[in-house]
Amino acid sequence: MTENQSAQPPSGPAAIAGQTVFITGASAGIGAACAHAFARAGARLLLAARRQDKLRDLAAALQKEGSPAVHTITLDVRDAAQVSATLGALPEAWRAIDVLINNAGLSRGLDKLQEGKPEDWDEMIDTNVKGLLYVTRAVVPGMIERGRGHIVNLGSTAGHMTYPKGAVYCATKAAEKSISEGLRQDVLGTPVRVTSIDPGMVQTDFSKVRFRGDEERAAKVYQGVTPLQPEDIADAILWAVTRPAHVNISEMLITSIDQANSLLFNR
Ligand code: NAP
């Protein structure tokens, strides 16, 4: 081994053991799957969502799966004051965040723009765009100060190609793409890495939330296709954050075998 190689921090799944990983929207779907994957890899987990009961149940399971420590916080990412107060008041042991997974997000409604509901637009923009910004703003300065850190933002195929009746959700994910690109440029020269993970259709509560609890309509979204599972995305995120420190995975566009892009499915 050369001197240079021995100076490299460890990479591969073992590299995440003992590191502090902060996941927003950890109470369900992709966020919860990430929590399980990182627990098995030995990471310390800081978990945020609005539904604290879900996080409490999850925390108990994660410690059994191998996480050395789990801390849960109630957080509505849309509330700028709450984000800054809660993250500013983290217990000492949870302040040094190594990895932030900006996963909290949602869609509301599937309507033509000219028939859409402004309250749905507000909720999507406030959560997927402004929430991501508030959390990032609170966490990145500490990463720069400590000289280490990785931001993983959840984008979507929707941010690459807009689909009918989804203009505003797609716009929030196009914004995520721009914000990830911008942040990557703004932290250039520091060791902080920025990755956008852009999944196609993943089978989670996403459609149930979009259709406000209409399970039948939500189930139809996944009928006749093999969708991605949240574990597939967690696996990709774990891989992206465990590359050697000089490797930045900028963007991963991931679909199931039955999806070509935002519009084309094999049903
Ligand atoms: P999900 O199962 O509905 O989970 C969404 C998570 O976000 C929940 O834990 C929810 O927690 C949290 N959340 C929503 N609003 C929040 C808020 N205001 N403050 C804090 N947490 C909030 O959906 P998912 O599919 O896992 O979605 C996760 C991310 O992946 C989203 O950004 C989504 O846009 C993206 N994505 C999903 C798909 C897909 O097909 N499923 C595809 C591409 C991208 P609480 O309700 O407990 O707060």
Cα end-to-end span (Å), the chain: 51
Tell me if residue 169 is catalytic: yes
Locate 100 and state its tokens: 């932030």
Which residue in 134, 163, 169, 222 is the catalytic one?
169
Taking the C-alpha atoms of residue 92 and residue 245, their distance in angstroms, rounded to an integer, is: 25
Taking the C-alpha atoms of residue 43 and residue 31, their distance in angstroms, rounded to an integer, is: 14
Nearest protein Cα to ligand 1, atom 18: 76
CB atoms within 10 A of CB 160: 17
Residue 29 Cβ inside 6 Å of ligand 1? The answer reads yes
| Atom number in ligand 1 closest to CA 107 | 34
Nearest-10 Cα torsion for 119, 215, 73, 125: -30
pLDDT in tens, the chain (267 residues): 344 444 455 677 779 999 999 999 999 999 999 999 999 999 999 999 999 999 999 999 999 999 999 999 999 999 999 999 999 999 999 999 999 999 999 999 999 999 999 999 999 999 999 999 999 999 999 999 999 999 999 999 999 999 999 999 999 999 999 999 999 999 999 999 999 999 999 999 999 999 999 999 999 999 999 999 999 999 999 999 999 999 999 999 999 999 999 999 999
Q: Which of 28, 32, 9 is nearest to 19 (CA)?
A: 9
For the chain, give every domain's residue range: 14-254
Place of tokens 């149940």: 57
Name residues whose C-beta falls within 8 Å of residue 102's C-beta, 6 or more positions apart in sequence.
Answer: 24, 132, 135, 136, 151, 152, 153, 154
The structure's pTM equals 0.97
Report which DSSP code applies to 12: S
Locate 71 and state its tokens: 């801390």
Q: Strand, helix or coil at 198?
A: strand
Taking the C-alpha atoms of residue 258 and residue 117, their distance in angstroms, rounded to an integer, is: 31
Place of tokens 């990412």: 77
The answer as to CATH 3.40.50.720 being correct for domain 14-254 is yes
